Structure 1
Amino acid sequence: MLSLAKNTNLLVMFLLELGVLASVGYWGFVVGQNLPVKLLLGLGGPALFIAVWAVFGAANGATIPLTGAARVLLEVLWFGGGAMALVMAGRLAPGLVFAAVYVVNAALRLLWNQ
């Protein structure tokens, strides 16, 4: 049963990663003033987040994998960025839920050494 919970937690982590990209994209398309700006922010924001995650955060594929406090800082900025994107796009409740799910997920990963 614990194995199922651990695997579910890893799935939630992956879904949170996708959620960050969706949140940042949503933010870009909502706050942009005109179509070119919407496209730049809505597509460029997630692209920037993808690049940062690929270089520093991807579990086994990161070019410069971070550990310890640097990894914690990256995750807080990454997932906090997703939550803040929702809040800045006028979606306070989903942003707060996103942040809460991340905190629970991170605590369980820490507890289970994931």
Structure 2
Amino acid sequence: MWKWGNLLLAFLVELVALGIFAWWGWDTGSTTLTRWLLAIGLPVVTAVVWGLFAAPTATRGTPVVRWIVKVLVFGLAGAALWSLGHPLLAVVFVVVVAANLAIIHVQKLQPTS
């Protein structure tokens, strides 16, 4: 149950990151058109990159590339949240992500019984 809970949390923080990018895109755009393009485009590009390199079923890249993509996506999501004027939420988000990734990594290293 612990393992599944952590995997569920990993999925939820991935969705939250996409939402943060949409929010940041909408807030950053100066016109209605750029707001829509950024609010839709950033999450779509992020999801494609994630699917190619960081998803559990990703077929491209190495484990190092997988970690780099994860750090970039979650780090940029935290930075975007900070720039939106929510530094406490940004710190909480990054700490939750880091703890979740660490727990999942340790679980993979432990032998199953």
Identity fraction in percent: 32
TM-score (norm 1): 0.88
State the Cα deviation string for residues 59-79 of structure 1 (Å, max 9, x = none): 11x231431x22221110111
| CA distance in structure 1 between the partners assigned to 2:62 and 2:97 by the alignment | 19
**How big is the shift at 1:5?**
1.2
Aligned to 1:102: 97
Question: What is the aligned-residue RMSD (CA, Å)?
Answer: 1.4
Q: Which amino acid aligns with 2:26?
A: F
Q: Following superposition, which runs of at least 4 residues in structure 1 exceed 6 angstroms of deviation?
A: none
Please list every run of 5 or more consecutive structure 1 residues that lacks an aligned counterpart in the other structure.
Answer: none
57, 60, 64: which one aligns with 2:60: 64
Aligned to 1:51: 48
Please list every run of 5 or more consecutive structure 2 residues that lacks an aligned counterpart in the other structure.
Answer: none
28, 33, 39: which one aligns with 2:30: 33
Paired residues in the alignment total: 109
| CA distance in structure 1 between the partners assigned to 2:12 and 2:36 by the alignment | 24
Aligned to 2:12: 15
| CA distance in structure 2 between the partners assigned to 1:98 and 1:44 by the alignment | 22
TM-score (norm 2): 0.89
